[in-house]
Amino acid sequence: MRVHVLGICGTFMGGVALIARELGFEVSGCDLNAYPPMSTMLQASGIPLHEGYNPAWLDPAPDLLVIGNAFSRGNPMVEYALDRGIPYVSGPEFLARYVLQNRWVLAVAGTHGKTTTSSMLAWILEYAELTPGYLIGGAPCNFDAPARLGATPFFVVEADEYDSAFFDKRSKFVHYHPLTLVMNNLEYDHADIFPDLGAIQRQFHHLVRTVPSTGLIIAPSDDDALAEVIRMGCWTPLERFRRGGDAGRVGEWSARLHDDGAGFTLFHGNEAQGDLRWSILGRHNIDNAIAAMLAARHVGVPLATSLEALTQFSGVRRRLEHRGTVRGIRVYDDFAHHPTAVTTTVDGLRRVVGDDRIIAVMEMRSNTMKMGVHKDTIAPALGQADEVVLFQPPDLGWSLQNIADDLGARARVIDSVPAIVDYLVANARAGDHILIMSNGGFGGIHERLLKALGAGENNA
Protein backbone atom coordinates (compact mmCIF):
# COMPACT_ATOMS: atom_id res chain seq x y z
CA MET A 1 0.00 0.00 0.00
CA ARG A 2 1.22 3.50 -0.90
CA VAL A 3 0.76 6.06 1.87
CA HIS A 4 1.40 9.80 1.66
CA VAL A 5 1.62 11.81 4.91
CA LEU A 6 0.55 15.44 4.75
CA GLY A 7 2.46 17.41 7.40
CA ILE A 8 5.13 14.74 7.84
CA CYS A 9 7.75 16.79 9.70
CA GLY A 10 5.69 17.27 12.84
CA THR A 11 6.81 14.87 15.56
CA PHE A 12 3.47 13.05 15.70
CA MET A 13 2.95 12.75 11.94
CA GLY A 14 6.61 11.89 11.41
CA GLY A 15 6.16 9.12 13.97
CA VAL A 16 3.13 7.85 12.07
CA ALA A 17 5.24 7.78 8.89
CA LEU A 18 8.04 5.83 10.59
CA ILE A 19 5.60 3.23 11.88
CA ALA A 20 3.89 2.97 8.48
CA ARG A 21 7.30 2.25 6.96
CA GLU A 22 7.88 -0.48 9.56
CA LEU A 23 4.54 -2.00 8.61
CA GLY A 24 5.94 -2.46 5.11
CA PHE A 25 3.98 0.32 3.41
CA GLU A 26 5.52 2.48 0.71
CA VAL A 27 5.59 5.87 2.43
CA SER A 28 6.19 9.42 1.22
CA GLY A 29 5.29 12.79 2.67
CA CYS A 30 5.40 16.53 2.38
CA ASP A 31 5.58 19.58 4.60
CA LEU A 32 6.09 23.29 4.25
CA ASN A 33 9.38 23.19 6.13
CA ALA A 34 11.24 19.89 6.00
CA TYR A 35 13.97 20.33 8.61
CA PRO A 36 16.17 18.19 10.88
CA PRO A 37 16.05 16.14 12.96
CA MET A 38 12.80 14.72 11.62
CA SER A 39 13.68 15.25 7.95
CA THR A 40 16.99 13.39 8.24
CA MET A 41 15.41 10.64 10.34
CA LEU A 42 12.70 10.08 7.74
CA GLN A 43 15.16 10.11 4.85
CA ALA A 44 17.39 7.62 6.67
CA SER A 45 14.33 5.34 6.87
CA GLY A 46 13.88 5.54 3.10
CA ILE A 47 10.92 7.93 3.19
CA PRO A 48 11.06 10.58 0.43
CA LEU A 49 10.13 14.13 1.46
CA HIS A 50 8.65 16.88 -0.69
CA GLU A 51 8.82 20.58 0.16
CA GLY A 52 5.51 22.45 0.07
CA TYR A 53 1.93 21.46 -0.73
CA ASN A 54 1.96 20.80 -4.44
CA PRO A 55 -0.89 18.53 -5.64
CA ALA A 56 1.64 17.01 -8.06
CA TRP A 57 2.93 14.94 -5.13
CA LEU A 58 -0.42 13.08 -5.28
CA ASP A 59 -0.03 12.02 -8.91
CA PRO A 60 -0.18 9.08 -9.21
CA ALA A 61 -2.64 8.95 -6.34
CA PRO A 62 -1.57 7.12 -3.18
CA ASP A 63 -3.78 4.39 -1.78
CA LEU A 64 -4.18 6.43 1.41
CA LEU A 65 -3.55 10.03 2.43
CA VAL A 66 -2.84 10.67 6.12
CA ILE A 67 -3.71 14.28 6.92
CA GLY A 68 -2.27 16.20 9.88
CA ASN A 69 -4.50 18.36 12.04
CA ALA A 70 -2.79 21.59 10.93
CA PHE A 71 -4.50 21.34 7.52
CA SER A 72 -7.92 22.65 6.58
CA ARG A 73 -10.15 23.20 3.60
CA GLY A 74 -8.48 25.49 1.09
CA ASN A 75 -5.13 23.74 1.26
CA PRO A 76 -4.35 22.81 -2.37
CA MET A 77 -3.49 19.19 -1.55
CA VAL A 78 -6.62 18.75 0.57
CA GLU A 79 -8.78 20.16 -2.23
CA TYR A 80 -7.05 17.97 -4.82
CA ALA A 81 -7.57 14.84 -2.71
CA LEU A 82 -11.25 15.59 -2.08
CA ASP A 83 -11.96 16.38 -5.73
CA ARG A 84 -10.39 13.11 -6.89
CA GLY A 85 -11.76 10.87 -4.18
CA ILE A 86 -8.39 9.86 -2.73
CA PRO A 87 -9.02 7.92 0.50
CA TYR A 88 -7.87 9.81 3.58
CA VAL A 89 -7.63 9.40 7.36
CA SER A 90 -6.29 11.39 10.28
CA GLY A 91 -3.08 10.38 12.02
CA PRO A 92 -4.90 9.02 15.10
CA GLU A 93 -7.30 7.04 12.90
CA PHE A 94 -4.35 5.53 11.03
CA LEU A 95 -2.87 4.42 14.36
CA ALA A 96 -6.17 2.93 15.49
CA ARG A 97 -6.75 1.09 12.23
CA TYR A 98 -3.27 -0.25 11.44
CA VAL A 99 -1.30 -0.31 14.71
CA LEU A 100 -3.38 -0.43 17.89
CA GLN A 101 -5.73 -3.29 17.03
CA ASN A 102 -5.17 -6.16 19.50
CA ARG A 103 -2.42 -4.20 21.33
CA TRP A 104 -2.21 -3.41 25.05
CA VAL A 105 -2.32 0.37 24.71
CA LEU A 106 -0.84 2.48 27.50
CA ALA A 107 -1.95 6.07 26.92
CA VAL A 108 -0.66 9.15 28.73
CA ALA A 109 -2.93 12.21 28.76
CA GLY A 110 -2.90 15.56 30.54
CA THR A 111 -2.16 19.23 30.00
CA HIS A 112 1.43 18.87 31.21
CA GLY A 113 3.99 16.09 31.28
CA LYS A 114 2.62 13.84 28.53
CA THR A 115 5.84 13.64 26.56
CA THR A 116 8.09 13.07 29.57
CA THR A 117 5.78 10.52 31.22
CA SER A 118 5.34 8.63 27.93
CA SER A 119 9.11 8.60 27.46
CA MET A 120 9.65 7.33 31.01
CA LEU A 121 7.04 4.61 30.55
CA ALA A 122 8.42 3.44 27.20
CA TRP A 123 11.92 3.34 28.69
CA ILE A 124 10.79 1.36 31.74
CA LEU A 125 9.15 -1.25 29.47
CA GLU A 126 12.25 -1.32 27.29
CA TYR A 127 14.50 -1.77 30.33
CA ALA A 128 12.23 -4.60 31.47
CA GLU A 129 12.87 -6.27 28.06
CA LEU A 130 9.24 -5.90 26.93
CA THR A 131 10.28 -4.20 23.65
CA PRO A 132 7.23 -1.90 23.44
CA GLY A 133 5.98 0.02 20.48
CA TYR A 134 5.52 3.71 21.12
CA LEU A 135 4.62 7.05 19.58
CA ILE A 136 5.77 10.09 21.54
CA GLY A 137 5.30 13.74 20.61
CA GLY A 138 8.89 14.64 21.34
CA ALA A 139 12.43 13.29 21.21
CA PRO A 140 13.11 10.84 24.08
CA CYS A 141 16.84 10.69 24.67
CA ASN A 142 16.81 6.96 25.51
CA PHE A 143 15.60 6.08 22.01
CA ASP A 144 16.79 6.81 18.48
CA ALA A 145 13.37 7.87 17.17
CA PRO A 146 10.06 9.28 18.47
CA ALA A 147 8.14 6.20 17.31
CA ARG A 148 8.44 2.51 16.52
CA LEU A 149 6.12 -0.43 15.92
CA GLY A 150 7.53 -2.65 18.70
CA ALA A 151 7.80 -6.42 18.99
CA THR A 152 5.26 -7.18 21.75
CA PRO A 153 1.59 -6.34 22.43
CA PHE A 154 2.53 -3.28 24.50
CA PHE A 155 2.21 0.14 22.86
CA VAL A 156 2.80 3.47 24.64
CA VAL A 157 1.15 6.51 23.11
CA GLU A 158 1.21 10.16 24.08
CA ALA A 159 -2.52 10.88 24.15
CA ASP A 160 -3.10 14.44 23.02
CA GLU A 161 -6.42 16.23 23.56
CA TYR A 162 -5.97 18.38 20.45
CA ASP A 163 -8.38 17.69 17.59
CA SER A 164 -7.67 14.93 15.09
CA ALA A 165 -8.17 16.64 11.71
CA PHE A 166 -10.25 19.22 9.88
CA PHE A 167 -12.87 16.49 9.25
CA ASP A 168 -12.71 14.99 12.78
CA LYS A 169 -12.88 17.49 15.63
CA ARG A 170 -12.72 14.81 18.33
CA SER A 171 -9.60 14.76 20.46
CA LYS A 172 -6.86 12.49 19.15
CA PHE A 173 -6.96 10.30 22.23
CA VAL A 174 -10.51 9.00 21.69
CA HIS A 175 -9.12 6.82 18.88
CA TYR A 176 -6.66 4.93 21.07
CA HIS A 177 -8.87 2.77 23.35
CA PRO A 178 -6.25 2.23 26.08
CA LEU A 179 -6.24 -0.58 28.60
CA THR A 180 -3.94 1.50 30.83
CA LEU A 181 -4.65 5.23 31.02
CA VAL A 182 -2.59 7.88 32.79
CA MET A 183 -4.20 11.30 33.29
CA ASN A 184 -1.49 13.51 34.78
CA ASN A 185 -3.38 16.77 35.24
CA LEU A 186 -5.90 19.03 33.54
CA GLU A 187 -5.94 22.79 32.99
CA TYR A 188 -7.38 25.13 30.40
CA ASP A 189 -5.32 25.16 27.22
CA HIS A 190 -5.77 25.08 23.41
CA ALA A 191 -7.98 28.16 23.41
CA ASP A 192 -8.02 28.01 19.60
CA ILE A 193 -10.31 24.97 19.68
CA PHE A 194 -11.76 24.76 23.21
CA PRO A 195 -13.97 27.61 24.48
CA ASP A 196 -13.52 26.72 28.14
CA LEU A 197 -12.24 24.09 30.57
CA GLY A 198 -15.57 22.29 30.51
CA ALA A 199 -15.17 21.53 26.81
CA ILE A 200 -11.80 19.87 27.49
CA GLN A 201 -13.25 17.93 30.43
CA ARG A 202 -15.94 16.50 28.15
CA GLN A 203 -13.25 15.24 25.78
CA PHE A 204 -11.37 13.69 28.71
CA HIS A 205 -14.56 11.99 29.80
CA HIS A 206 -14.99 10.59 26.30
CA LEU A 207 -11.53 9.08 26.81
CA VAL A 208 -12.49 7.66 30.23
CA ARG A 209 -15.53 6.03 28.62
CA THR A 210 -13.27 4.03 26.28
CA VAL A 211 -11.24 2.32 29.05
CA PRO A 212 -12.65 -1.14 29.84
CA SER A 213 -13.54 -2.32 33.32
CA THR A 214 -10.59 -4.74 33.12
CA GLY A 215 -8.21 -1.81 32.61
CA LEU A 216 -6.73 0.79 34.94
CA ILE A 217 -6.86 4.58 35.19
CA ILE A 218 -4.01 6.33 37.00
CA ALA A 219 -4.64 9.90 38.14
CA PRO A 220 -3.66 12.36 40.87
CA SER A 221 -5.99 12.62 43.85
CA ASP A 222 -5.57 16.40 44.16
CA ASP A 223 -6.55 17.66 40.70
CA ASP A 224 -10.01 19.24 40.89
CA ALA A 225 -10.55 19.36 37.12
CA LEU A 226 -9.82 15.64 36.75
CA ALA A 227 -11.97 14.87 39.78
CA GLU A 228 -14.89 16.46 37.93
CA VAL A 229 -14.13 14.28 34.91
CA ILE A 230 -14.23 11.15 37.07
CA ARG A 231 -17.50 12.28 38.68
CA MET A 232 -19.10 12.32 35.23
CA GLY A 233 -18.81 8.54 35.36
CA CYS A 234 -16.03 5.98 35.66
CA TRP A 235 -16.32 2.24 35.06
CA THR A 236 -12.64 1.37 35.50
CA PRO A 237 -10.50 0.78 38.62
CA LEU A 238 -8.60 3.88 39.74
CA GLU A 239 -5.06 4.09 41.09
CA ARG A 240 -4.35 7.40 42.82
CA PHE A 241 -1.13 9.28 43.44
CA ARG A 242 -0.57 12.53 45.29
CA ARG A 243 1.46 15.28 43.69
CA GLY A 244 4.03 17.55 45.27
CA GLY A 245 5.86 15.25 47.65
CA ASP A 246 3.29 14.70 50.42
CA ALA A 247 3.30 11.16 51.78
CA GLY A 248 1.08 9.29 54.19
CA ARG A 249 -2.43 9.04 52.72
CA VAL A 250 -3.89 5.56 52.98
CA GLY A 251 -4.13 3.83 49.61
CA GLU A 252 -2.33 6.60 47.71
CA TRP A 253 1.06 6.62 46.05
CA SER A 254 3.39 9.52 46.69
CA ALA A 255 7.04 10.49 46.85
CA ARG A 256 9.22 12.38 49.28
CA LEU A 257 12.06 14.41 47.79
CA HIS A 258 15.51 13.70 49.21
CA ASP A 259 17.09 16.57 51.12
CA ASP A 260 19.74 17.10 48.44
CA GLY A 261 17.11 17.22 45.70
CA ALA A 262 18.80 14.45 43.70
CA GLY A 263 16.19 11.74 44.21
CA PHE A 264 13.10 10.64 46.07
CA THR A 265 11.56 7.85 48.13
CA LEU A 266 8.41 6.22 46.74
CA PHE A 267 5.58 5.58 49.23
CA HIS A 268 2.34 3.66 49.22
CA GLY A 269 0.43 5.14 52.11
CA ASN A 270 3.01 5.34 54.92
CA GLU A 271 5.11 2.47 53.60
CA ALA A 272 8.31 3.23 51.71
CA GLN A 273 8.57 1.21 48.49
CA GLY A 274 12.03 2.17 47.28
CA ASP A 275 14.46 4.97 46.51
CA LEU A 276 15.57 6.61 43.29
CA ARG A 277 18.69 8.68 42.63
CA TRP A 278 18.65 10.48 39.31
CA SER A 279 19.70 13.62 37.45
CA ILE A 280 16.27 14.78 36.25
CA LEU A 281 15.23 18.23 37.50
CA GLY A 282 11.90 19.34 38.93
CA ARG A 283 9.26 18.10 41.36
CA HIS A 284 6.84 17.74 38.46
CA ASN A 285 9.09 15.02 37.04
CA ILE A 286 8.70 13.05 40.25
CA ASP A 287 4.94 13.08 39.64
CA ASN A 288 5.58 11.98 36.05
CA ALA A 289 7.78 9.15 37.34
CA ILE A 290 5.15 7.89 39.79
CA ALA A 291 2.55 7.77 37.02
CA ALA A 292 4.93 5.94 34.67
CA MET A 293 5.88 3.37 37.32
CA LEU A 294 2.23 2.66 38.17
CA ALA A 295 1.40 2.21 34.48
CA ALA A 296 4.33 -0.19 34.06
CA ARG A 297 3.25 -2.03 37.22
CA HIS A 298 -0.13 -2.64 35.57
CA VAL A 299 1.56 -4.70 32.82
CA GLY A 300 3.63 -6.61 35.38
CA VAL A 301 6.85 -4.62 35.77
CA PRO A 302 7.96 -4.68 39.45
CA LEU A 303 8.48 -1.30 41.10
CA ALA A 304 12.10 -2.21 41.82
CA THR A 305 12.71 -2.68 38.09
CA SER A 306 11.06 0.66 37.30
CA LEU A 307 13.20 2.43 39.88
CA GLU A 308 16.31 0.87 38.36
CA ALA A 309 15.21 1.89 34.87
CA LEU A 310 14.65 5.51 35.86
CA THR A 311 18.19 5.84 37.18
CA GLN A 312 19.17 5.52 33.50
CA PHE A 313 16.43 7.78 32.13
CA SER A 314 18.10 10.53 30.10
CA GLY A 315 15.15 12.87 29.72
CA VAL A 316 13.53 14.37 26.66
CA ARG A 317 14.95 16.94 24.31
CA ARG A 318 13.63 20.45 24.92
CA ARG A 319 12.56 19.67 28.49
CA LEU A 320 15.00 21.79 30.52
CA GLU A 321 17.64 20.53 28.12
CA HIS A 322 21.16 21.83 28.67
CA ARG A 323 22.25 23.05 25.25
CA GLY A 324 25.74 24.22 26.13
CA THR A 325 28.01 26.22 28.42
CA VAL A 326 30.17 29.08 27.15
CA ARG A 327 32.17 31.54 29.31
CA GLY A 328 30.67 29.83 32.36
CA ILE A 329 27.15 30.69 31.17
CA ARG A 330 24.78 27.71 30.89
CA VAL A 331 22.05 27.80 28.21
CA TYR A 332 18.90 25.69 28.51
CA ASP A 333 16.02 24.94 26.14
CA ASP A 334 12.53 24.22 27.47
CA PHE A 335 9.22 23.58 25.73
CA ALA A 336 7.18 25.51 28.34
CA HIS A 337 3.94 26.60 26.64
CA HIS A 338 1.63 27.33 29.60
CA PRO A 339 2.07 29.33 32.83
CA THR A 340 2.00 26.16 34.94
CA ALA A 341 4.75 24.62 32.82
CA VAL A 342 6.75 27.86 33.12
CA THR A 343 6.36 27.82 36.91
CA THR A 344 7.49 24.22 37.30
CA THR A 345 10.42 24.69 34.90
CA VAL A 346 11.77 27.78 36.66
CA ASP A 347 11.18 26.17 40.06
CA GLY A 348 13.00 23.00 38.99
CA LEU A 349 16.01 24.98 37.83
CA ARG A 350 15.99 27.18 40.93
CA ARG A 351 16.14 24.16 43.23
CA VAL A 352 19.32 23.04 41.49
CA VAL A 353 21.16 26.34 40.98
CA GLY A 354 20.39 27.91 44.33
CA ASP A 355 21.17 31.63 44.36
CA ASP A 356 22.78 31.72 40.89
CA ARG A 357 21.15 34.14 38.49
CA ILE A 358 18.43 32.76 36.22
CA ILE A 359 17.71 34.79 33.09
CA ALA A 360 14.41 33.63 31.61
CA VAL A 361 13.80 34.29 27.90
CA MET A 362 10.26 33.63 26.71
CA GLU A 363 8.42 33.42 23.40
CA MET A 364 4.60 33.33 23.43
CA ARG A 365 4.50 30.62 20.78
CA SER A 366 1.53 28.32 21.44
CA ASN A 367 -1.83 29.29 19.95
CA THR A 368 -3.24 29.87 23.43
CA MET A 369 -0.32 32.08 24.44
CA LYS A 370 -0.51 34.05 21.19
CA MET A 371 -4.18 34.72 21.89
CA GLY A 372 -3.26 36.27 25.24
CA VAL A 373 -5.44 33.88 27.23
CA HIS A 374 -2.82 33.48 29.99
CA LYS A 375 -1.41 37.01 29.96
CA ASP A 376 -2.48 37.68 33.57
CA THR A 377 -0.65 34.62 34.94
CA ILE A 378 2.62 34.77 33.02
CA ALA A 379 4.30 37.29 35.32
CA PRO A 380 3.68 35.23 38.49
CA ALA A 381 4.93 32.13 36.66
CA LEU A 382 8.25 33.91 36.06
CA GLY A 383 8.50 35.10 39.64
CA GLN A 384 11.60 33.06 40.55
CA ALA A 385 13.67 34.35 37.62
CA ASP A 386 16.22 37.09 38.39
CA GLU A 387 15.83 38.63 34.95
CA VAL A 388 13.18 38.18 32.26
CA VAL A 389 13.36 38.87 28.53
CA LEU A 390 10.03 38.78 26.66
CA PHE A 391 10.07 38.42 22.88
CA GLN A 392 7.57 40.75 21.18
CA PRO A 393 7.25 39.70 17.52
CA PRO A 394 5.50 42.21 15.25
CA ASP A 395 2.56 39.88 14.55
CA LEU A 396 1.68 38.95 18.14
CA GLY A 397 -1.29 41.30 18.27
CA TRP A 398 -1.02 42.35 21.90
CA SER A 399 1.65 44.07 23.97
CA LEU A 400 3.85 42.25 26.47
CA GLN A 401 4.68 45.50 28.25
CA ASN A 402 2.04 44.98 30.95
CA ILE A 403 3.69 41.67 31.87
CA ALA A 404 7.07 43.40 32.01
CA ASP A 405 5.58 46.17 34.18
CA ASP A 406 4.23 43.55 36.61
CA LEU A 407 7.73 42.08 36.90
CA GLY A 408 9.35 45.47 37.43
CA ALA A 409 12.90 46.50 36.63
CA ARG A 410 14.13 42.92 36.09
CA ALA A 411 12.03 42.52 32.90
CA ARG A 412 12.33 43.94 29.43
CA VAL A 413 10.54 43.50 26.11
CA ILE A 414 12.69 43.01 22.98
CA ASP A 415 11.29 42.77 19.46
CA SER A 416 13.84 40.66 17.57
CA VAL A 417 15.88 37.53 18.11
CA PRO A 418 19.19 39.20 17.15
CA ALA A 419 18.52 41.98 19.65
CA ILE A 420 17.80 39.42 22.38
CA VAL A 421 21.08 37.66 21.61
CA ASP A 422 22.96 40.96 21.72
CA TYR A 423 21.40 41.83 25.07
CA LEU A 424 22.24 38.46 26.60
CA VAL A 425 25.83 38.52 25.35
CA ALA A 426 26.30 41.99 26.81
CA ASN A 427 24.66 41.30 30.18
CA ALA A 428 25.16 37.63 31.08
CA ARG A 429 28.14 36.70 33.22
CA ALA A 430 29.87 33.54 34.38
CA GLY A 431 27.64 31.51 36.68
CA ASP A 432 24.39 32.63 35.01
CA HIS A 433 21.73 30.24 33.74
CA ILE A 434 19.87 31.37 30.61
CA LEU A 435 16.55 29.55 30.37
CA ILE A 436 14.94 29.84 26.92
CA MET A 437 11.26 28.87 26.83
CA SER A 438 9.22 28.31 23.67
CA ASN A 439 7.37 25.45 22.01
CA GLY A 440 8.71 26.59 18.63
CA GLY A 441 12.10 27.07 17.04
CA PHE A 442 12.41 30.66 18.36
CA GLY A 443 14.45 31.69 15.33
CA GLY A 444 17.31 29.34 16.19
CA ILE A 445 18.09 31.46 19.24
CA HIS A 446 19.91 28.67 21.13
CA GLU A 447 22.54 28.14 18.45
CA ARG A 448 22.82 31.88 17.76
CA LEU A 449 23.36 32.63 21.43
CA LEU A 450 25.96 29.92 22.01
CA LYS A 451 27.82 31.01 18.90
CA ALA A 452 27.72 34.69 19.94
CA LEU A 453 28.87 33.86 23.47
CA GLY A 454 31.74 31.89 21.96
CA ALA A 455 32.71 34.82 19.74
CA GLY A 456 32.72 37.02 22.80
CA GLU A 457 34.98 34.53 24.53
CA ASN A 458 37.40 34.57 21.60
CA ASN A 459 37.44 38.38 21.58
CA ALA A 460 37.96 38.69 25.33
- The CATH number of the domain where 233 resides is what? 3.40.1190.10
What percent of the chain clears pLDDT 70, i.e. is strictly above it?
Answer: 95
- Tell me: the pLDDT tens digits for 349-382? 887 788 899 998 989 876 667 666 677 788 888 8
- Given a contact cutoff of 8 angstroms between Cβ atoms, the answer to whether 455 and 424 are in contact is no
Is pLDDT above 80 for 436? yes
From 162, 184, 186, select the one nearest 174 (Cα to Cα): 162
On whether residue 178 sits in a domain, the answer given is: yes
Task: Please check whether residues 36 and 63 belong to one and the same domain.
Answer: yes
Number of continuous H segments (helices) and E segments (strands) in the chain: 15, 23
On whether residue 316 sits in a domain, the answer given is: no
- Tell me: the pLDDT tens digits for 77-136? 999 999 999 999 999 999 999 999 999 999 999 988 899 999 999 999 999 999 999 999
Task: Please check whether residues 283 and 328 belong to one and the same domain.
Answer: no
Task: Please check whether residues 156 and 244 belong to one and the same domain.
Answer: yes
Report the range of poorest mean pLDDT among 77-81, 301-305, 393-397: 393-397
pLDDT value at position 453?
Answer: 86
pLDDT value at position 112?
Answer: 83
CA distances from 308 to 256, 304, 311, 312 (A): 17, 6, 5, 7
Q: What is the CATH number of the domain that holds 11?
A: 3.40.50.720
On whether residue 229 sits in a domain, the answer given is: yes
Output the pTM of the full model: 0.82
| Range 21-25 contact pairs with CB under 8 angstroms and sequence separation of 24 or more | 21/45, 21/46, 21/47, 22/148, 22/149, 23/98, 23/99, 23/149, 25/1
Is pLDDT above 80 for 316? no
Is pLDDT above 90 for 400? no
Domain with 199, as residue range(s), is 100-311
- Given a contact cutoff of 8 angstroms between Cβ atoms, the answer to whether 146 and 136 are in contact is yes
Report the range of poorest mean pLDDT among 165-169, 298-302, 402-406, 440-444: 440-444
Is pLDDT above 50 for 460? no
On whether residue 167 sits in a domain, the answer given is: yes
- Given a contact cutoff of 8 angstroms between Cβ atoms, the answer to whether 390 and 407 are in contact is no
What percent of the chain clears pLDDT 90, i.e. is strictly above it?
Answer: 57
- Given a contact cutoff of 8 angstroms between Cβ atoms, the answer to whether 139 and 316 are in contact is yes
Work out the average pLDDT over 383-406.
87
Q: Are strands 168-171 and 154-158 parallel, antiparallel or unpaired?
A: unpaired
Is pLDDT above 70 for 35? no
Domain final residue pick, 38, 59, 89? 89
Is pLDDT above 80 for 425? yes
Distance CA 420, CA 207 (A): 42
Domain final residue pick, 293, 311, 329? 311
- Tell me: the pLDDT tens digits for 215-273? 999 999 989 999 999 999 999 999 999 876 555 577 889 998 887 767 889 999 889 99
Q: What is the CATH number of the domain that holds 396?
A: 3.90.190.20
State residue 220 phi and psi, 5-degree precision: -70, 150
Give the number of C-alpha atoms closer than 13 A to the C-alpha of residue 326, restricted to the C-beta side. 22
What is the number of residues in the chain?
460
- Given a contact cutoff of 8 angstroms between Cβ atoms, the answer to whether 394 and 368 are in contact is no
Nearest 5°: the CA angle 225, 231, 236 is 110
Domain final residue pick, 246, 278, 311? 311
Strands of the 88-90 sheet, one edge to the other: 49-51, 26-31, 2-6, 64-67, 88-90
Per the model's pLDDT, the better-predicted residue between 344 and 394 turns out to be 394
Work out the average pLDDT over 6-27.
94
Q: Are strands 180-183 and 216-220 parallel, antiparallel or unpaired?
A: parallel
pLDDT value at position 459?
Answer: 45
- Tell me: the pLDDT tens digits for 51-88? 899 999 999 999 999 999 989 999 999 999 999 999 99
Task: Please check whether residues 277 and 403 belong to one and the same domain.
Answer: no
Work out the average pLDDT over 389-400.
86
From 432, 379, 337, select the one nearest 423 (Cα to Cα): 432
Q: How many domains does the chain have?
A: 3
Task: Please check whether residues 398 and 269 belong to one and the same domain.
Answer: no
Task: Please check whether residues 139 and 248 belong to one and the same domain.
Answer: yes
